[in-house]
Amino acid sequence: MMKFHHRRLLKVEPSGPSPPLPSPNTAGSKGSYLSDSDFDTDMVVILAVLLCALVVVLGLNLLVRRTLRRRSEEQVEAPLAPTVTGLKKQVLRQLPMVVYGPRANISETECPICLGEYVEGEKIRVLPKCNHGFHVRCIDTWLVSHSSCPICRHSLLEP
């Protein structure tokens, strides 16, 4: 008769008496089970590794928090850079104006700010550094809060 061994699907012919199974109560024999001392040693190692990982994670957390706190304190303490505001009215009056017409040396036919067409005889302010022209009221309103040309962003402040 054929004999089937535990967890084997192959047919094995009996060749003799089977060896005796080791008793589970036998102490000191190396079996498929870990002894209590091996289990304790493994648990100590696992717990030590987990403890080290916890210390590393907490250290990194502390480092990140300090870095973020330092950055936010530096931003608060850093003096704000002076914001460039527009031109003063005295400077605005010194900017050149031309009267729009056939003799005016202006290539545009409309104001880039309001998109309104220039009318003959209308005063146009021409910016000195870039020669862009605008309605006087349009560019003056712009230059009260800005110091650059609205088209090319060329600064009108002296370098």
pLDDT at residue number 131:
85
Percent of the chain with pLDDT over 90: 25
pLDDT at residue number 85:
78
Q: What tens digit of pLDDT does each residue of 26-69 get?
A: 555 555 555 667 778 889 999 999 999 999 999 999 999 999 99
Domain 89-145 matching CATH 1.10.10.350: the answer reads no
Q: What tens digit of pLDDT does each residue of 61-103 get?
A: 999 999 999 888 877 765 665 666 778 888 888 888 889 888 7
User: What residue segments make up the domains of the chain, in order of their start?
Assistant: 36-78, 89-145
* Closest to 104 in 3D by CA, of 81, 85, 120, 82: 120
Most distant CA atoms of the chain, gap in Å: 125
Q: What tens digit of pLDDT does each residue of 114-129 get?
A: 999 989 899 999 888 8
